[in-house]
Amino acid sequence: MNTKYYDVIVAGAGPAGICAAVAAARQGARVALIERYGVIGPILGSVSKNTMRDEVCAILGVKDNDWIGEHGNAHDFEEAKLTLAEFVAREKNVDVFLQCCVSDVIRDGKVVKGIKCASNEGTLCFEAAVTIDCTGDAIVSFLAGA
């Protein structure tokens, strides 16, 4: 089994995962961004001002949108798939792995050391000092026993 080594693994390429991966890469970390679907996801939800969300909203052309319908309109989700992929791709320290479904965690005792994924290429293993669960269903946390 082939194991890939990184500083940070981010499972889930939705809003939280995109921002976590880009933020870690900007701090110099080598990042694996793992997504079970074939695209990097659109931005949903609302968070405080002056966060990376503002940067993402600006590149999507909906700078003042509140996402709950009181102000502005939702962004074009299909266009966002390409725009967000380009946003992540600008970070040289991020490797994106699409169609990779988390199937297990790699642990040393109670410490999570990485994840195993079922992919179109077979089982892929990723190890890192930090694993971040940004999946919508908390699968990494569940598999780790949380």
Per-residue pLDDT of the chain (146 residues; tens, 9 = 90+): 689 999 999 999 988 899 999 999 999 999 999 999 988 866 656 667 778 878 888 888 877 666 555 666 667 788 888 888 999 999 999 999 999 999 999 999 999 999 999 999 999 999 999 999 999 899 999 999 99
CB 103 within 8 A of CB 139: no
Q: Tell me the H-state helices in 15-123.
A: 15-26, 52-60, 77-89
Model pTM? 0.89
Spatial CB neighbours of 108, under 8 Å, sequence gap ≥ 6: none
Pairing state between β 100-108 and 111-119: antiparallel
Sheet holding 122-133, edge to edge: 94-97, 31-34, 3-11, 122-133, 111-119, 100-108
